[in-house]
Amino acid sequence: MWKLKSTRIVKHYLSTNFLVLKMAKSSFEYVKKFEHDDSLLPNTWIVIRLDGKCFHKFADDHNFTKPNDLRALKLMNYAAYTVLKEYSDILLSFGQSDEYSFVLRKDSCLYKRRSAKLLTTINSKFSSSYVFYWNKFFEHLPLKYPPCFDGRIVLYPCDENLIDYMKWRQADVHINNLYNTTFWTLILKGQLTPVQAEKRLSGTVSADKNEILFQEFNMNYNNEPEIFKRGTILLRKSLLHNKVNKSIIVDVHDDMLKDKFWKENIYILSVKKSKQNLMYKGPTTEIIEDQLSKYENHLEA
């Protein structure tokens, strides 16, 4: 008798709630009409660029070394590396200072190419990784507050447009870094104030700045670390490790302004997956070492 009564109560409860859900769906579902389709154009290169917001203040508050803090750059690279690990549709990324660009496959259908979904998830992954791995690079410097990154999506219809975009971002590294290196050298070694240094560099060209560094401070700008002068490129390669080809993400500081880079990495622009020129023969960086150690740990487990 009790089982029969319980069964009726359950059936009544389920039928009543089903009716409520059905009514709610039919009466409230109209709000979905206010959503707009933000699917990106097909067959175009998707570039997502993230930029630090108020990063000058963030850098000052955390005592970043001027003009370049290697710890900060490595943290940016590591955060970008975690993004590439998460999303295989990202073929290439490039970072400098407080910005990072991510290039998705031309035929990518990630999140159905929905603009808001792509931008928010990749920005969220990058930003959260920056905070999560802060102590990995700033062991003795507490994070006072989380950084903020804004983002945008730009579509490029052809390979030439994409290549020119990447060249533009790397050319920007050289212009900014040469200026900043000279500016801070005048302040830190030349004892000028920021206003005086800015006035000294007003109207100068690249040759003038190189001359100031060399003649007054015995600095050859060409000897500055490549990561400062060119930024960092992240791309996918194969590495022969213990007689096994291992697919990895590599961080390099190659010159994208020259055609040689694009000829050697022509597979990046190919819609079809290719193994051409995928073998990596460069030095073992911290990011590569991180992947190899995890690979070894996986084999031992």
Dihedral-angle region of residue 43 (phi above 0 means left; psi in -120 to 50 means alpha; beta otherwise): left
Q: Is 3 part of any known ligand binding site?
A: no
From residue 2, how far is each of 13, 14, 15 by CA, in Å?
16, 18, 20
**Which residue has tokens 């290196």?**
181
Torsion of CA 289, 294, 295, 297, to 10 degrees: 130
**Helix/strand/coil for 71:** helix
How much is the CA Rg of the chain, to the nearest whole Å? 26
Q: Is 203 part of any known ligand binding site?
A: no
Q: Is 150 part of any known ligand binding site?
A: no
Q: Is 56 part of any known ligand binding site?
A: yes
- Report d(CA 6, CA 227) in Å as an integer: 71
Q: Is 52 part of any known ligand binding site?
A: yes
Q: Is 98 part of any known ligand binding site?
A: yes
- Report d(CA 73, CA 154) in Å as an integer: 24
Contact 249, 81 (CB under 8 A): yes
Q: Is 55 part of any known ligand binding site?
A: yes
Q: Is 109 part of any known ligand binding site?
A: no
List the binding residues for Mg(2+).
51-52, 98
List the binding residues.
51-56, 97-98
List the binding residues for GTP.
51-56, 97-98
